Amino acid sequence: MKIYQVGGAVRDKLLGLPVKDRDWLVVGSSPEEMQALGFTPVGQDFPVFLHPETHEEYALARTERKIAPGYTGFSFHTSADVSLEDDLRRRDLTINAMAEDEHGNLIDPFAGKQDLENGILRHVSPAFVEDPLRVLRVARFAARFDFKLTEQTLTLMQEISQSGELDTLVAERVWAELEKALAEQYPVRFFEVLQSCAALENIFPEIDKLFGIPQPEQYHPEIDSGVHTMMVLQLACTLTDETIIRFAALVHDVGKGLTPKAQWPSHRGHEERSVEMIHKMCDRYRIPNKYRQLAVIVARYHLDCHRIGEMHPHTILKKLEAIDALRRPERFEQFLIACEADARGRKGMENNAYPQAKFFRKAYEAAKGVDTQDLVDKGVEGHSMAEEIRQLRIAAIRKIKT
């Protein structure tokens, strides 16, 4: 029996990155031997065991064969005669198909180290096309490392897109890959790769439809809405690491993809169309409610935030109430960041200030800070109390505008 460290841990070590999760591969053993050594079986589809002390995962070397559609449609074969190279050959990319033995020696049968050094994402074998999830995984690795795909790997991904296999992806797995991609350093690359292999229109049609549709006349119409969306997402990445804000930035304008051509100069009403599409997308991929809620208020109110300084005090208070800022200050801050990303995610405006956020924040603080003790002392209650508080808040907001 021989044990090797494999996969991401080997890759990240070579890149000088922190190793978070370690995966171990066991060659020349059996389930019975592993259990006899104190390992606990946990794998449902193939033998995976937890180490009795470290609780890290140890998998028996295996090969696989495609027997049905989808990324779960495989049969697995494990036995003592499955070699290390046999196991590595079934992996997706060369940079993930390396191993390290107990002495720290690198085993690299598919030149993964060279591809790492050259910034290349390359499939290991033609069997790559058998797993549709690999389209999303490769796009995510592009978002993590900003590596380039080989033409051959891109061709195989296009083949997967044309095969209909992407339709077999489970909603939760799609969302898991999207959420991970949004947390990476270059999430725009995720969508660029999906678009280049014709997968974007299948998996995220809401985003794909934005490309080719011009921006409103006042916002550099020579840049289409898809390019603007990618600029907003990239700007959001410079402002925050929070994936919930990056998601809201990504989908804030999806309604423009449904704008009738006659309305392209203004995109009138796209906010509510965006809200409708966000709900459908969140339903389809079972996206958590916290993502949905922020995305909806950003889609519906980001234009209001851009012109907040022009509004009357009572209107400003209505916007604060609609956003639920007085009860959800943390989400209000997330909203402001997403709005700033939208305002600056335009050609020539990337380095501009966004004073609207500062003003809106001051309005919130003024409204939140009104003293209601005098009303309590006077015995004001119920509807009257609520209306009196509103008037105090409007007056407080009026003061910051003068």
pLDDT score at 377? 66
Per-residue pLDDT of the chain (402 residues; tens, 9 = 90+): 899 999 999 999 999 999 888 899 999 998 899 999 999 998 776 789 999 999 999 999 988 765 566 555 556 677 788 899 999 999 999 999 999 999 999 999 999 999 999 999 999 999 999 999 999 999 999 999 999 999 999 999 999 999 999 999 999 999 999 999 999 999 999 999 999 999 999 999 999 999 988 877 656 656 789 999 999 999 999 999 999 999 999 999 999 988 877 776 766 778 999 999 999 999 999 999 999 999 999 999 999 999 999 999 999 999 999 999 999 999 999 999 999 999 999 888 889 999 999 999 999 999 999 887 777 667 767 777 788 889 999 999 999 976
pLDDT score at 386? 80
Q: How far apart are CA 194 and CA 204, in angstroms?
A: 9
C-beta separation of 311 from 219 below 8 A: no
Which residues, listed in sequence order, are joined to residue 100 by a DSSP beta bridge?
A: 5, 106
The per-type count for the chain, helices as H runs and strands as E runs, is 19, 11
pLDDT score at 220? 60
CATH number, domain 1-110: 3.30.460.10
pLDDT score at 47? 84
C-beta separation of 274 from 255 below 8 A: yes
pLDDT score at 120? 98
Q: What is the pTM of this model?
A: 0.90
Question: CA quadruple 31, 34, 38, 44: dihedral positive or negative?
Answer: negative
C-beta separation of 5 from 99 below 8 A: yes
| Among candidate residues 400, 243, 271, 253, the one with its CA nearest the CA of residue 337 | 243
Q: How far apart are CA 64 and CA 22, in angstroms?
A: 22
- Count CA within 13 A, CB hemisphere, residue 58: 25
| Among candidate residues 258, 304, 259, the one with its CA nearest the CA of residue 280 | 258
Can you list the alpha helix ranges (DSSP code H) found in 240-288? 243-251, 270-285
**Which helix (H) or strand (E) covers residue 149, if one does?**
strand 148-149
Domain ranges of the chain: 1-110, 205-401
What is the separation of C-alpha 1 from the centre of its chain, rounded to a whole number of angstroms? 40
